Chain A
Amino acid sequence: MSLLVLSNISKSFGPVNVLHHANMSVDAGEVVGLVGDNGAGKSTLMKIITGIYKADAGDITLDGQSILHLDPGERRAMGIEMIYQDLALAKQQDVASNIFLGREPVKSFLGIIPGMVDKRTMDRKAQEMIDRLGANLPAINRPVGTFSGGQQQTIAIARALTFDPRVVIMDEPTAALAVREVQSVLDLIRQLKKQGIAVILISHRLNDVLSVTDRIVVLRHGRTEANLTTSQTTMTKVVSAIVGGDDMEAAAAHESAG
């Protein structure tokens, strides 16, 4: 049985039907690529997993139990993490504040007054996580807006990994990165796989998807168009599924070249 299963998910925004009975699943230690053209419904489907959007129909199960009724905070607590394309960082707050946002450890002040956020523990754990990722930040007690794009991405990744996730969703994690940084993101995905974490990778860079995933799910106009095993597929097949068969030779040649 798969760890996370989405079955027959439908969603519309007003008159616009974004998803029609979309299906996908991911196992522990499996990396699944989610690809499709712009507007195919990839991001919407992921936001339905994290609970930011509510599905109109269909079910989501984690370990066989439905999580549809849980709010985003509760789903995070169940181990579903997402790294957003825009990173979703609070730029004026420091590193630890971002990593622990919504999950701050608390203690009591002078042993009497409850609810004091334990900033020292937060800073220590944040530093440990940053070190584990092999990143080099000049100082963790600075607003994250003062860091470079790559460093901010590290912080977003650290936030997703600090609370022992079971499923990590990455939305275009390599889109804005330099070549060397792309490689370290792909290495990180392989590392997560080894630790038994399920990874869903959304990307337009099909070369990245083909090199790091076990399976590739193709969304087209809100439907699950194909569910391909990466080792038995080719760039041409993936592109064909994305564009729906037309002009696939030219499109595939272009993707292979790029």
Chain B
Amino acid sequence: MSPQPNAVTKPGLWRRAQIKSEERLHVRLESLLVLIGLGVIMSFLSPYFLSVSNFLNILLATSTIGVLAIAATFVLGSGGLDLSLGSVMGLSGVAGAFVAVNLGLPSALGVAAGIGAGAAAGYINGKLVTRAFVPAFIVTLGMMGLARGLALVISDGRVIYGLPSALLYLGQGRPFGIPMPVIIFFTVVLITHYILAFTRFGRYTLAIGDNENAARTAGIDVATHRVILYTLSGGLAGLAGMLFMARINSGDPTAGISYELTAITAAIIGGTNLFGGRGSILGAVIGALIMGVLQNGLNLLAVQSYYQIMAIGAVLIFAVFIDQYQIRKAADT
């Protein structure tokens, strides 16, 4: 309407750097600095931290969580929630191993079964959320139990050993000296970053998370879009399950317990809004790397793994606190 007097104060150096980082890299400046800071601290604390082989170790350990964090970013960004990520990952590992080992079918079918099982679980999540109107929190909490239980039923509660070599290559192969899971992880990052940041699908995802009603009036089929997102999330959890299974050389029905905690934490550290509307794949990668460096560092310092779980929980609460603090501060000014 009419021109309004608008006191535009020139943003400070810090704010300008924040905006540049988000526009150019799609990454929050704070998380980037935390990652670098964490790396510097670790290299002082441990002589083993700063080496190529340790970096590859960190990337290898991060690849599973990283894929899950990408799944979490899509669903959280759309204003949804997927608590079943870790369990679905466990189910997929068992499904893949069962098909390839117990049924003796080709490895490719094992991979298809693993990812397919994940996608199917996600599809059911999506349908229940959008058609049966059960809240995502309850649906995915229920799926967490269903998928874990099914994994134990299929495997009869035992770990499935003896994967064929083609499947093992997926987790332990090193073309050009780079671990296969890392290569697959980076490929997934490139594709999903393109989708979320540059395509209509990505824009609709964030718009739905921002204001579902606005998305609907803009002609977006919100229910179908959500079903696709939950299916994508389940499929990515299935892929993570395949990577993990191949790396540890077995289908373990207890794989991925509490991984959704780490994945959601990584996504939120990366700048995804817990309530939807904002999210970045590269941010989630940085978040996953922060979790990876933290775990690797605590391992190198021989800190008991129980404390690491505590550290992840604390980081999650702290990350959301920082996010909410900034939102409140922005609302005040």
Contacts and interface: CB of A to CB of B under 8 A. Distances in A.
Interface in A79-121: 82, 84, 86, 88-93, 97-98, 101-104, 106, 109, 113, 115-117
Most buried by B among A84, A93, A185: A93
A153 to B, nearest CB: 7
A91 B211 contact: yes
A73 B218 CA distance: 6
Contacts of A91: 210-211, 277
A54 to B, nearest CB: 13
B199 A115 contact: yes
Contacts of A38: none
A180 B2 contact: yes
A150 B211 contact: no
Given A90-B211, A101-B207, A117 B217 contact: no
Interface in B203-231: 203-204, 206-207, 210-211, 213-221
Contact of A93 (B2, B199, B206, B213): B206
A52 B4 CA distance: 34
Interface residues of A, number: 47
B204 to A, nearest CB: 8
A185 B1 contact: yes
B1 A153 contact: yes
A86 to B, nearest CB: 8
Using C-beta atoms within 8 Å of the partner chain, give the interface range for chain B.
Answer: 20 to 34
Contacts of B304: none
B194 interface: yes
A76 B6 CA distance: 33
Contacts of B211: 88-91
B310 interface: no
Nearest to A75: B219
A93 B219 CA distance: 17
Nearest to B3: A136
Nearest to A135: B1
B125 interface: no
B1 A101 contact: no
A151 to B, nearest CB: 7
B151 to A, nearest CB: 36
Given A90-B211, A138-B8, A52 B198 contact: no
A89 B218 CA distance: 10
Interface in B174-222: 194, 198-201, 203-204, 206-207, 210-211, 213-221
B278 interface: yes
A134 B273 CA distance: 34
B25 to A, nearest CB: 16
A102 B215 CA distance: 8
B243 to A, nearest CB: 25
A50 interface: yes
A109 B207 contact: no
B217 A93 contact: no
B219 A181 contact: no
B271 to A, nearest CB: 11
Interface in B86-140: none
B1 A116 contact: no
A196 interface: no
Contacts of B221: 71
B299 to A, nearest CB: 37
Interface string A63-80: 000000001111111000
Nearest to B197: A117
Q: Which of A88, A133, A135 has the most CB of B within 10 A?
A: A88
Nearest to B8: A138
Given A135-B3, A153-B1, A90 B216 contact: no
Contacts of A102: 204, 215, 218-220
A101 B220 CA distance: 9
A150 B199 contact: no
Contact of B216 (A72, A109, A134, A148): A72
Interface of B: 1-4, 6, 8, 23, 194, 198-201, 203-204, 206-207, 210-211, 213-221, 273, 277-278, 330
6 contacts: A84-B217, A90-B206, A106-B200, A115-B200, A154-B1, A181-B1
